[in-house]
Amino acid sequence: MFPQFTEDQIAIRDAARAFALAEIDPGAAARDASGEFPREILKKLGEMGFLGMTVPEALGGGGSDFLSYILALEQIAYTDASVAVTMSVNNSVACAPILAFGTQEQKEQYLRPLASGEALGGFMLTEPDAGSDAAALKTRATRTTGGWRLNGAKAWITNGGEGRYFVIMARSDPDKGKKGISAFILDADQPGVLMGRPEDKMGLRSSKTVMVTLEEAFVPEGALLGKLGDGLKVAFGGLDGGRIGIAAQALGIAQRAMDESVSYAKSRRSFGKAIGEHQMIQTYLAEMESHLQAARLLVYRAAAMKEAGKTCTLEAATAKLFTTESAVWICDRAVQIHGGYGYSHEYLVERLYRDVRVTTIYEGTSEIQRMVIARELLK
């Protein structure tokens, strides 16, 4: 098996799988229907060290390596993509940038609660008029006594209304273009941070995604993350890891769709035999499995490269593009194999089909991944 996993990595993967099947899977359909946020599950994931997996133990984290995180995330997504995205955001875009760019004081102050699950975190980059083109963001950070005041709006913020500490990008100097954007750590527990109603999403129904309005929100001097003007560096610095994380989420969802399809193909009968005995269904299964195996290798390779400290921009973008597009297609075929039942809330593949759809959109759309891949090839 490539890459060769260590005993620790296998133990973490198996622990994640056992927890996911025992504690997450049973209530996933009900949470999808009600939109209930999985607070108790997240509390337990925090206790297991899964909310800050690569944060050192000395700072309250899991002290694991990046590949272990990816293996665990895949297993969580196998049972509930809503829990997986919450875990992924906390690890990849809240803890990781603070770990990479934070001062020792910031790590002590913010990583401890974030990694233990005492407080959830998030990432505020996207705005109503600035998504893929993040440098077009308009949220303003203006100097005030002892820190900064933030004014503006952030869109599609995962963990909004549930989380406390958010890495946020805002324009600290309107005359400097991309270099005028800075990153801060925002404590959302203050009157100037107004959380909107949760978005009524197609999938990931029990994760929370909201519009955030900032009205004179205060950020103390000590919460500037990285250097002034380095906001996009902070935002994009963790993107390779974030992309591999979303690819792992898509992989877990697609593996579940695969397993559900194989099982259904054995039990559902038509024309006097199991539908899995019809050659056309076999073709679907074979192609789904081929995509799945190829995607898994891409995800693990990119994760192993990141863990080894190698540049993996090309590999991370390739893994995200191929895996998420394949996963959407695999879930589509899974619905097809289930026939009319696949179109019903009663069958799991219907939820997988809705949940997987966003993976080609967030943390860089498929179009943006294609641009990144082409840029890497042509540079």
Ligand X SMILES: Cc1cc2nc3c(=O)[nH]c(=O)nc-3n(C[C@H](O)[C@H](O)[C@H](O)COP(=O)(O)OP(=O)(O)OC[C@H]3O[C@@H](n4cnc5c(N)ncnc54)[C@H](O)[C@@H]3O)c2cc1C
| Least spacing, CB of residue 45 vs ligand X, in Å | 18
**Secondary structure (DSSP) of 55-83:** S-GGGTS----HHHHHHHHHHHHHH-HHH
Q: Single out the catalytic residue among 74, 162, 315, 363.
A: 363
Q: Please select the residue that binds ligand X; options are 358, 359, 372, 373, rule is CB under 6 A.
A: 358
Query: Is-contact 93 242, C-beta < 8 A?
Result: yes
Residues 244 and 302: beta-carbon distance below 8 Å: yes
Nearer to ligand X, 216 or 367 (CB): 367
Q: Measure the CA angle with vertex 19, ends 17 and 299; round to 5°.
A: 30
SS (H, E, C) 204-248: CCCCCEEEEEEEEEEEEHHHEECCCCCHHHHHHHCHHHHHHHHHH
Interface residues for ligand X in 65-94 (CB under 6 A)? 89
Residue 167 touching ligand X (CB under 6 A): no
Q: Does 136 contact ligand X by CB under 6 A?
A: no
CA dist 73 and 58 (Å) reads 22
**For residues 302 and 368, which CB has a smaller minimum distance to ligand X in the complex?**
368
Does position 209 interact with ligand X (CB under 6 A)? The reply is yes
190 binds ligand X (CB under 6 A): no
362 forms part of the interface with ligand X (CB under 6 A): yes
Residue 367 binds ligand X, judged by CB under 6 A: yes
Residue 203 gets the label, from left (phi > 0), alpha (psi -120 to 50) or beta, of beta
Query: Is residue 365 close enough to count as binding ligand X by CB under 6 A?
Result: yes
For residue 125, give the DSSP letter. Answer: -
CB nearer to ligand X: give 69 or 123: 123
CB-closest chain residue to ligand X = 131
Is 165 near ligand X (CB under 6 A)?
no
Can 363 be counted among the known catalytic residues?
A: yes
Q: Please tell me whether residue 158 binds ligand X under the rule CB under 6 A.
A: yes
| Residue 62 contacts ligand X per CB under 6 A | no
Task: List the one residue from 123, 184, 322, 353 that touches ligand X (CB under 6 A).
Answer: 123
Q: Does 195 interact with ligand X (rule: CB under 6 A)?
A: no
Tokens of residue 375, six digits = 């840029």
- Count of positions on this chain that bind ligand X (CB under 6 A): 20
CB of 155 to ligand X, least distance (A): 7
How far is it, in rounded angstroms, from Cα 139 to Cα 91?
Answer: 24
Which residues belong to the active site?
Answer: 363
